[in-house]
Amino acid sequence: MKLYAEPPADGSEEGRGHPRPARLSAEELCGLYADRVYQFATMIARDDVEADDLAQIALERAVRALPQYQPERGELEGWLWRIVVNAARDAGRAATRRQLLAQRLAARGESRPPADDIRADITDGLLVAAVRRLTRLQRSVIALRFGADLEYRDVGAALGISAVASRVATHRALTALRSALRKAEEH
């Protein structure tokens, strides 16, 4: 499936310059990106249930916004990853609010909601657990770069930073991840 339409065969000016994205259906969009969105969500979420929810919410937002996509404002992939990152930020804020509520309830002596006891169903659960312990920015950078398989410029565009800043942030996140993995192996 091509994301961009071919320029007209008659050589007219229409289609010259920036390639025009072909209209994608919701099924095509999900077929092309669902796996990468889920990989991103798995790395950034605290557990598998949250990852499933995050991936679904992000794809739903993208499908609903698909008719408003404007090719002249940027590439489809960059547009999609901005939606995915914003959904992750919103989910993170909601999770923080839930966590604060649970802490307040605990301080009052009321019972907390039960914690999810779910392990990642990825080949290396230790790696996913270590990624999940990183800061939000570090998780985002690693999830976009390696989970979603984006280039540095696309990671930067999704996070609102330059490609160079994206490369530096990725290096720092990987350094923190290596350190966390070494500590986990020692214990």
Three-state secondary structure call for residue 159? helix
CA atoms within 13 A on the CB side of 171: 6
* Among 92, 84, 88, 91, CA closest to 63: 84
Structural domains of the chain in order of their starting residue, each with its CATH number: 26-117+124-186 (1.20.140)
* pLDDT tens figures, 59-103: 999 999 999 888 888 888 889 998 998 888 888 777 666 666 566
pLDDT recorded at residue 103: 66
Angle in degrees, CA 12, 13, 16, rounded to 5? 115
CB-CB contact of 24 with 128 (8 Å)? no
The structure tokens listed for 50 are 């949250």
The structure tokens listed for 114 are 């039960």
CB-CB contact of 84 with 38 (8 Å)? no
Band of residue 14 on the pLDDT scale cut at 50, 70, 90: very low
Residues forming a β-bridge with 44: none
Q: Is 87 exposed, middle or buried (0-12, 13-18, 19+ CB in 10 A)?
A: buried
Angle in degrees, CA 140, 145, 148, rounded to 5? 90
Band of residue 24 on the pLDDT scale cut at 50, 70, 90: confident
* pLDDT tens figures, 137-185: 999 999 899 888 889 999 999 999 999 999 999 999 999 988 888 887 7
pLDDT higher than 90, residue 22: no
Higher pLDDT, 117 or 110: 110
pLDDT recorded at residue 182: 81
